[in-house]
Structure formats: C-alpha cells, structure tokens
Chains A and B, each alone.
Chain A
Amino acid sequence: GAVVSQHPSWVICKSGTSVKIECRSLDFQATTMFWYRQFPKQSLMLMATSNEGSKATYEQGVEKDKFLINHASLTLSTLTVTSAHPEDSSFYICSARSRRVETGELFFGEGSRLTVL
C-alpha cells in the first residue's frame, strides 16, 4: 500500500500562536491531498482539498485565512493553523490518493493532535 506520514503527532501551543503540520506521501506522488478535522467521538470532517501547485479548495465554513494550506511538491502538503485558539484544539488528519491504487481509496497519515492552551 501507500504510506502517508504526518508530523508532528502531538503539539501543544499557547493561544495566539501558529502551528504547522506536515503531511508527506513517502512512496508515491500525490497531486491531491485532503485535510480532515475530527473532534472527540465525531467523524472526519473534510476541511480542504490541497492541490499541488495551486490554491487549496476549502469546504464551506472553513476559514482559508485561518487554515493555510500549501502543497509545495508532489509529496508534501502543509496545514498551518494561524493564531490558534482553544476551539481549534482537535485531531487533524491528512490523506492522499495514489494513482497506483485502482480503488481510489485514501491513505491516511497518523494524525496530529493539537491542543491550544
């Protein structure tokens, strides 16, 4: 299968600071990566679709100026939570689709748990 790595796994920050989360596809090229957010005991909510070399496509209700997404290469996408507040505390998960896999399933990173104090 395809491997997606996410870093950091855990991050604790003060309110008002910015946090960057990296998502890498290790053994395949991902022209598109997806960012999800998951609150406790809830399902995954798609935040945005990250396209290599172009602007991300955000889902309704997601502030693009607060959640900055950059897809600098075919193997790396980053999510920056700017001016984080306690309500931004959540589990953030990235995923990518490999062209090698016909089903089009998503391969997920390990997730990043953000706690804003």
Chain B
Amino acid sequence: GQNIDQPTEMTATEGAIVQINCTYQTSGFNGLFWYQQHAGEAPTFLSYNVLDGLEEKGRFSSFLSRSKGYSYLLLKELQMKDSASYLCAVRDQTGANNLFFGTGTRLTVIP
C-alpha cells in the first residue's frame, strides 16, 4: 500500500519563501509528482522527481530523497495567486503505475 503525509495547512507572506514537505511509504516507488489545485478546479502539474536531488523550475523547486522517503516543494517570491492546495503524489510501479495522492497542503498567502 501507500502512505503519503503532508501538512494540512500553511500560511506564508507575499514575497516570502515557503517549503511544503511530503513523506511517503510505498512498495514500488516510481516517481513523485507535485500538483497545484485551486479550489473547485482540476490539479495542474508542477514538478516531477524520480532521482534524488533538486529540480528547479522558475519560482518552484522540488527535492527528493528516496532513501528517506521525503520530498519538498519550495515556492519562492510568493504571490497571492499561489494560494492553493499543493498535492504530493507518488507513482507506484506495481499494477498500472497509478498515482496516489496525499491529502494536500492548503497554502494561504497573505499580504
């Protein structure tokens, strides 16, 4: 099975940096994804890690440590529009390579 943990809620200030952590346990790890989801909308892809290390894409970066079962999403220069839920998802290579999602972290950016 899969077990994916994220903080439920976080608050940060506009212009600041925030780190959202994700820990996971899975039997057949085959990649970790971060998605952004605004309320009432479908998730949109942010990042993908399959090897250890940091992947940077503009204001967003994602880090993975497979040995620790740990990832984080780093958001820099926060903007008000970054207020959303951030979903950590792990792909399990057993079966159909399904993605299993954590509970999501609801980020609120304040002025």
Contacts and interface: CB of A to CB of B under 8 A. Distances in A.
A108 B44 contact: yes
Contact of B42 (A41, A43, A93): A93
Interface size class of chain B, counting residues whose CB lies under 8 Å from the partner chain = 20 to 34
A111 B98 contact: no
B98 A105 contact: no
Interface size classification for chain A:
20 to 34
B96 A49 contact: yes
Interface in A87-109: 91, 93, 95, 97, 103-109
B99 interface: yes
B97 interface: yes
A43 B45 contact: no
Given A106-B33, A108-B42, A113-B40, 13 more contacts: A6-B42, A32-B96, A34-B99, A41-B106, A42-B103, A43-B102, A45-B101, A46-B99, A49-B98, A103-B31, A105-B45, A111-B40, A111-B42
16 contacts: A6-B42, A34-B99, A41-B106, A46-B99, A93-B43, A95-B99, A105-B33, A105-B48, A106-B33, A106-B45, A106-B99, A108-B42, A110-B42, A111-B41, A111-B42, A113-B40
Interface of B: 31, 33, 40-45, 48, 87, 91, 95-104, 106
